[in-house]
Every structure is written in C-alpha cells, then in structure tokens.
Amino acid sequence: MKCVLLYAVSAIAALAAATETKVKLPNSRADLASGEKLFQNHCTRCHGPKGEGGRGPMLTRAKLSKAPDDAALLKVVENGIRGTEMPGADSMSEREIRQTAAYVRSLGKVSQKPVPGDPSRGAEIYRGKGGCATCHSIQGEGGISGPDLAGIGGRRSAAYLRESLVDPGAAVPEGYLLVTVVTKNGQRVTGVRVNEDSFSLQIRDDSGRSYSFWKNEIAEANKQRAKSPMPSYKGQLSEDELTDLVAHLASLKEGK
C-alpha cells in the first residue's frame, strides 16, 4: 500500500513538473526599450532612474531577494509586495509587465562601482560618535525607537543613505508619522505612530516605551508629517566621517 501511495505522489509531482511552464522574459531591443520607458514612468520614484535605489531597494543586482527567478519577478511587478510600499501594476497590460520585468532583470547585468569609504571606520562612528545604536538596531543589538537597519545596504542606495543622514526629513518612509499627544488630564507624549484606528492611537517614544490612548481621552494630537526625530549629521560629522558611515551602512546586506 505504501509503495502504491508513494508511486501516486511521485506521479503527481512529475505531472506538475511537466506541466509547469518555464517563464521566459522578452529580450529584444524593442522590448527592453519599452520596458525602460515603463520603468521610468512607474518605478523611478522609489527605485531610482537607473535602478540604483532610493525609497525602494536597489535593482542593480544579479539576484533580487524578493525575485530570485523570472517567475517570481513577474509576480512582484504584477501584484506588488504585501506589507510594503511596492504596489501592483494595475495599469499595465500583461505584455508591459513582462517588458518591465525584462528591463529590471537587465539592470542586474550592469557592473556597479564600489561604495567609497571605509566600512570598518564607519562601524566605529556608528557605535561611537554618531550614536546610531541608541535608536537603531542591527540583528537585535541596539535601540528600538528607530527603524531596524539589518540589511539596509540591500534596501537603500548609498545616495539615499547619505541623504537620510544630512537631511532626515527628506527621507522619511511612507507611513512613518511622528505624533505629539496631549491628553485631557495633561499628559504629553511624543513618539512614532505604531497603530491607529477609529477609537484608539498607539505610539512609541524614543526610549522604546509604548503608549495606547483612547481617542475620547485625547485633547490634542499633533501629527507631524514628513518629519523625523533623527537629527541631521550635517556639521556634526566631517565629510570623511559621513562617507565612512555610509560605507558601513551600505555594507549591511541580508545575512550580515
């Protein structure tokens, strides 16, 4: 009986493998040119004009963590990534989706210049003079009031990382909101919004402490959009120190 069952399972698996269609992206010059135009119209705001990254991850890599093969890449372009800022391509036709995916894949074949700076000196600045670990965590080590920076080098370009250091307000992620709450009994708390619904508001202050308020208890809620509690490092760090700190952050890839 076990042999029959194993044979049936093997047959089903073989049938599924045989009927699975291997995805092949278009590779003609015309298709790639169309894909580039579509990319410029729909993707550059987050991924940069040449896929160098920005609000979204860099695409100039041979292997993309969310799209290890062409079938997965097509799904990402078509459906987006749930829980992230990556939307689906609702306005694109099936052919346009394939052309865009083909262009994205071509970006990984372009050689990249190394990020300037000394990552080891940047790590010392991160832990010391920069005080970054007070708010940010890397693989569970550090503060929790700021975003986790594990793998940040694979999600953000060096240019974006530098901008976030010298002008934090220009690099505030979508959905990030700083809120100052004043309750009817006089309590005042400033922190990052964690969750909000019709009846309650939850925030976390810079020490990592969480607060939950019923809205009927709140006298004032000042929502400071496009504002970051992180200070600017312009003038606080030298140009060489900034370069080294960016090099360290850019070196933080997945698994590091």
Whether residues 48 and 95 fall in one domain = yes
Q: What's the first-to-final CA gap in the chain, in angstroms?
A: 48
pLDDT for the residue numbered 103: 94
Instruction: Decide if pLDDT at 162 tops 70.
Output: yes
- In a domain, residue 6? The reply is no
pLDDT for the residue numbered 255: 54
pLDDT for the residue numbered 214: 96
Whether residues 193 and 243 fall in one domain = no
- In a domain, residue 148? The reply is yes
Instruction: Decide if pLDDT at 17 tops 80.
Output: no
Whether residues 123 and 237 fall in one domain = yes
**Mean pLDDT value of segment 163-192:** 86
Domain end point (choices 54, 79, 107): 107
**Mean pLDDT value of segment 90-114:** 90
Domain at 134, CATH number: 1.10.760.10
Whether residues 191 and 87 fall in one domain = no
Whether residues 129 and 205 fall in one domain = no
Whether residues 143 and 246 fall in one domain = yes
Q: Which residues pair with 138 in a beta bridge?
A: 141
Whether residues 27 and 84 fall in one domain = yes
Whether residues 100 and 125 fall in one domain = no
Domain end point (choices 64, 80, 107): 107
- In a domain, residue 15? The reply is no
Pair type for strands 188-196 and 200-204: antiparallel
pLDDT for the residue numbered 228: 77
Instruction: Decide if pLDDT at 201 tops 50.
Output: yes
- In a domain, residue 146? The reply is yes
Instruction: Decide if pLDDT at 2 tops 50.
Output: no
Burial of residue 46 (number of CB atoms within 10 Å: 0-12, 13-18, 19+): middle
- In a domain, residue 8? The reply is no
Instruction: Decide if pLDDT at 113 tops 50.
Output: yes
Whether residues 141 and 240 fall in one domain = yes
Q: Which of 154, 149, 117, 112 shows the shortest CA–CA distance to 133?
A: 149
Give the DSSP H/E element, type plus range, for residue 137: strand 137-138
Q: What is the token pair recorded at 195?
A: 């969750």
Q: How many domains does the chain have?
A: 3
Q: Which of 42, 45, 30 shows the shortest CA–CA distance to 91?
A: 42
- In a domain, residue 161? The reply is yes
Whether residues 163 and 126 fall in one domain = yes
Q: How far apart are CA 241 and CA 116, in angstroms?
A: 11
pLDDT for the residue numbered 54: 77
Q: What's the domain range around 44? A: 22-107
> What pLDDT band is residue 204 in, cutting at 50, 70 and 90?
confident
- In a domain, residue 183? The reply is yes
Cβ within 8 Å of residue 35, ≥6 positions away: 26, 99, 100, 101, 102, 103, 104, 106
Q: What is the token pair recorded at 149?
A: 């920076």
**Mean pLDDT value of segment 64-92:** 89
> What pLDDT band is residue 119 in, cutting at 50, 70 and 90?
very high
- In a domain, residue 60? The reply is yes
Domain at 189, CATH number: 2.30.30.100
Proportion of the chain above pLDDT 90, given as a percent: 48
Question: SS3 of 93, please?
Answer: coil
